[in-house]
Amino acid sequence: MALKLADFKTDVHNDWCAGCGDFGILNAIQMALADMQVPKHRTTIFSGIGCSGKTPHFIKTYGIHTLHGRVLPFAQGAKLANPDLEVLAVGGDGDGLGIGAGHFVSAGRRNVDMVYIIFNNAVYGLTKGQASPTLKLGMKTKSLPQPNVNNSVNPIALALVSGFTFLARGYSYDVRQLKDLIKKGIEHKGLAFIDVLQPCPTYNDINTKEWFQGNDNIDPATNKVMPRIYKLDDIGYDGIVRDESQITGKMAGALEKSSEWGSKIPTGIFYQNELMPTYQERISARIPNYVEEPPAGQKIADGEGKTVTNIERLLSEHRVD
């Protein structure tokens, strides 16, 4: 029977603040899974700590609420143990780019075939709105006593130079576009990263929904409001790498476009490169039966509970001469 959107919703009480951008991201994930008819028992959503960490509670698939900054090691481990799983990792900008930044960079180097979505609101919402790594230098949100003294991280640029092979940015109030980006991230062969801009109306009183809509961004020529958010597709931008000669140029384009911020903020796919081997492909080259017999599919005991693990074979597979 075909899965419907309602099949991916739980009845767990949701205590996110009214107007939080998290709701749009949650809807987009559920819509993408329903559109793709991904079997629920083959889907696992991992989260870190923060407001967004509650996301797996609201999606009716397998879900693991992990530790602060550690969502990527959990998610990568599950995907490597069971390559048949559809794995999504979610978390906040503070979680993923602060304490989790080392894991973020290491994940890029591996290129495990899964999706990582950052709910980016530039503050640590769960702990009363401290400045996160994506808050711009000099900004003073209502919960800061002084303007932010640190420079900000560009998540797309960091992901690009770390080796992520699919880079996109969405906006939580454009659920339709975000759903499409998530579907493309799931379909992508390799590690997909989606940076989602989302208002935190409780603690970030600068990057609000009205600010993203451009209510204060008036075109002097026409006196009309100019929305800050625009789509890369609408300007004919193409970040897809089709052969190796294009890699350097497409990377440079992604860096340039992802740095655009202020009166114009692009969304869409900045870069996609499926020429890079995934971690699973690299492992398969060393362990030929990895895909047919991944760790999660191996028999570890017979009917009487006696181990059937061949220790000698395991050791020989992992021996480094």
Residues that bind ligand SF4 (CB under 6 A): 16-17, 20, 22, 51, 121, 125, 200-203
- Residues pairing with 218 in the sheet: 225
In the DSSP assignment, the letter for residue 61 is: S
Q: Whole-number minimum distance, CB 11 to ligand SF4, in Å?
A: 19
CA distances from 251 to 86, 139, 278, 281 (A): 27, 29, 18, 23
> Whose Cβ is closer to ligand SF4: residue 124's or residue 271's?
124
Q: Whole-number minimum distance, CB 145 to ligand SF4, in Å?
A: 18
> Whose Cβ is closer to ligand SF4: residue 100's or residue 239's?
100
Report how far residue 89's alpha carbon sits from residue 95's, in angstroms, rounded to the nearest whole number: 12
> Whose Cβ is closer to ligand SF4: residue 142's or residue 242's?
142
Report how far residue 285's alpha carbon sits from residue 64's, in angstroms, rounded to the nearest whole number: 30
Q: Whole-number minimum distance, CB 22 to ligand SF4, in Å?
A: 5
> Whose Cβ is closer to ligand SF4: residue 127's or residue 151's?
127
Report whether 72 contacts 104 (CB < 8 A).
Answer: yes
Report how far residue 111's alpha carbon sits from residue 30's, in angstroms, rounded to the nearest whole number: 24
Q: Which two tokens stand for residue 241?
A: 């790498």
> Whose Cβ is closer to ligand SF4: residue 19's or residue 297's?
19
Q: Whole-number minimum distance, CB 122 to ligand SF4, in Å?
A: 10
Report whether 174 contacts 21 (CB < 8 A).
Answer: no
> Whose Cβ is closer to ligand SF4: residue 61's or residue 141's?
141
CA distances from 312 to 288, 293, 295 (A): 17, 17, 16
Q: Whole-number minimum distance, CB 200 to ligand SF4, in Å?
A: 3
Q: What share of the chain is helix, strand, coil (3-state, %, to 5)?
A: 40, 15, 45
Q: Which two tokens stand for residue 85?
A: 């799983």
217 closest CA partner among 258, 264, 266 = 264
Q: Whole-number minimum distance, CB 17 to ligand SF4, in Å?
A: 3
